[in-house]
Amino acid sequence: MSNKDIYILGIESSCDDTSAAILKNNKVLSNKIANQSIHKKYGGVVPELASRAHLSNIIPVVESAIKESGISLNDISAIAFTRGPGLMGSLIVGTEFAKSLGVSLEVPVIEVNHMQAHILSNFIDNGKKKPGFPFLGVTISGGHTQFILVEDYFKMKILGETLDDAIGEAFDKCGKKLGLDYPAGPEIDKLSKLGDEYKFNFPLPKVEGGNISYSGTKTAFINFLHNNINKNKNFIDENLQDICASIQKNLVDNLLNKVNFLATKNNLNSIIFGGGVSANSYLKNRLEDESRENNWEIFIPELQYTTDNAAMIGIVGYLKYSTSKLSDLKSTPLPRYSF
Ligand code: KG4
Ligand code: ZN
């Protein structure tokens, strides 16, 4: 690696957020995100609408990231983009934009795996201690729930994952049944703060080994609501905070049981979280308790780098650029991009 500073433009467009970031080496100069509120009224992401919104957002978001960073387009050393996993139409916008800009600026492009980026976002320089290898990487988002053995930046092995719904999906689907807007995770988090997490009990799925399941919880939750609404039509309104706190506890218990199992089995005491659900405040509190009990060292990215963002794509771009892991213009989107 030369002594010259490296400037990376990161681009993220895998789902419903269009984001662009500029990094100077491993530091973030700007990180702009255009959220797509259009999906709210549909209770989930509508792929066709997401691609269209990316098309109109991408240029303004990139321009705004460059402006805020204080650099100019010509300073950029390379462009990192999300190749997958994600929605095909959404990925196409970011991928093709990145490659076209790369050609016009005559700089290399670097493909990034979105799930690796959620983990590696913990390596963005924020003046705090960075994790050492090996560690257990836990990615918890709307599309994924994975437990990963991370031996080096790009040496990752999946130890277990969801057999059906992702944890964020479970938050969102349960929230939808309660009449909350998409994505319901942050709202459940907020409402739960005033609720009693022991008020209602939901069964915990029994899945052997490192995998996890959330679809049974969703079904149990729907049945629970039906039964109670049959008895009292105002059941949700009268118990909203307690229902939220109780289902949130169940979703987090399920996750922490697996984290415990896999950390013990693989002798790992450094645990890193990434993905939207790692913003959950109840999970963070529970992790504080668990880390004291089990001697774990926990790493969670800063809030702005937990949900989908381009700074996490930029840090992977920086790490790959530094080790000459560049891509070429044949790189096409991979909706199911595993590593
Ligand atoms: O990583 P992300 O932004 O996008 C995906 O790659 O899926 O994660 C979005 C997910 C959504 O399911 C959302 O409800 C959830 O993260 N989420 C939360 C919180 N903030 C976002 N879930 C629980 N508590 C939160 N505070
Ligand atoms: Zn994500």
Note whether residue 336 is domain-resident. no
- Residue 333 placed within a domain: no
Residues 172 and 271 in one domain: yes
How many domains does one find in the chain?
2
Give the total residue count for the chain: 339
CB of 186 sitting under 6 A from ligand 1: yes
56 vs 140: CA distance, rounded Å: 28
User: What predicted TM-score, i.e. pTM, was given to this entire model?
Assistant: 0.93
Q: How far is the CA of 86 from the centre of ligand 2 (A)?
A: 9
Ligand 1 atom at shortest distance from the alpha carbon of 172: 14
**Are 166 and 141 contacting, i.e. CB atoms less than 8 angstroms apart?**
yes
Does 77 share its domain with 31?
yes
Written as one letter, the residue type at 70 is G
Tell me, yes or no, whether 167 lies in a domain: yes
CATH number, residue 168: 3.30.420.40
DSSP string, 145-191: EEEEEEEETTEEEEEEEBSS--HHHHHHHHHHHTTPPSS-HHHHHHH
- Same domain (yes/no): 112, 144: no
CA distances from 118 to 27, 217, 264, 325 (A): 16, 25, 23, 18
- 290 and 314 fall within a common domain: no
Query: Are 43 and 159 contained in the same domain?
Result: no
Question: Both 277 and 316 in a single domain?
Answer: no
Looking at the structure, tell me whether residues 212 and 314 fall in a common domain.
no
Considering the domain architecture, whether residues 105 and 249 belong to the same structural domain is answered as: no
Q: Where are the beta strands (DSSP E) in 179-279?
A: 270-274
Q: Which H helix or E strand runs over 258?
A: helix 235-265
pLDDT of the chain along its 339 residues, tens only? Answer: 456 899 999 999 998 889 999 999 999 999 999 987 777 777 778 888 889 989 999 999 999 999 999 999 999 999 999 999 999 999 999 999 999 999 999 999 999 999 999 999 999 999 999 999 999 999 999 989 999 999 999 999 999 999 999 999 999 999 999 999 989 999 999 999 999 999 999 999 999 999 999 999 999 999 999 999 999 999 999 999 999 999 999 999 999 999 999 999 999 999 999 999 999 999 999 999 999 999 999 999 999 999 999 999 999 999 999 999 999 899 999 999 888
Return the closest-CA partner of residue 240 out of 182, 284, 196, 286: 196
Q: Whose CA is nearest to atom 13 of ligand 1?
A: 185
Regarding the beta carbon of 140 and ligand 1, being less than 6 Å apart is answered no
113 alpha carbon, closest ligand: 2
Q: How far is the CA of 142 from the centre of ligand 1 (A)?
A: 5
Assigned domain for 53 exists = yes
Domain that holds residue 78: 7-121+306-322
Based on the fold, state whether residues 162 and 222 are members of the same structural domain. yes
In this structure, the answer to whether residues 147 and 59 fall within a common structural domain is: no
